[in-house]
Structures are given as C-alpha cells and as structure tokens.
A = this chain, B = another copy of it.
Amino acid sequence: MSETRTFTVQGMTCGHCVTSVTEEVQEISGVEHVDVVLETGAVTVTSSQPLDDTAVRAAVEEAGYRLG
C-alpha cells in the first residue's frame, strides 16, 4: 500500500531546482514517486511506507532549499 503526501518547498526558481529536489527526495527509503510543481512549490511524494518528515526536510535542504 502506498501513501501520498504533499510538502511545500520554498526557493525553487527554475527547472534545475525542480530536478535537484526531485533527485534528493527520490533517494529517501520507500519513495516511489515524486512530483514537483515549480510555480507553487508543491512536492507530492508517494511512498511504500510512512514518510519520515525529518528525512524529507533533510533531502530538501540537501538540494539547497527549505520546506515552507
């Protein structure tokens, strides 16, 4: 069973930012799909196990951005 949650990321300005965030979040254990909408900062994550908020925050910060 999958779980889908949406986070908001601040500071993304272009497609490269979207790629960076997507790549980092995809590396979190259990993550199956990541969808990022640049205009709104919405990052929707589908995972096979409950997401660890700390891991999501760390991934976003590793990419160079912050959760809003």
Which A residues lie at the B interface, using CB under 8 A?
13-17, 19-20, 64
Cα distance A20–B14 in the bound complex, in angstroms = 12
Cα distance A23–B15 in the bound complex, in angstroms = 17
Q: Is the interface of A mostly helix, strand, loop or mixed?
A: helix
- Copies of this polypeptide in the complex: 2
Which residues of B have CB within 8 Å of A19? 16
Which residues of B have CB within 8 Å of A13? 13-14
- Across the interface, name the chain B residue whose C-beta is closest to A18: B16
Which residues of B have CB within 8 Å of A15? 64
- Extra 7 A-B pairs, beta carbons < 8 Å, given A14-B16, A15-B64, A16-B16: A13-B13, A13-B14, A14-B14, A14-B17, A16-B17, A16-B19, A16-B20
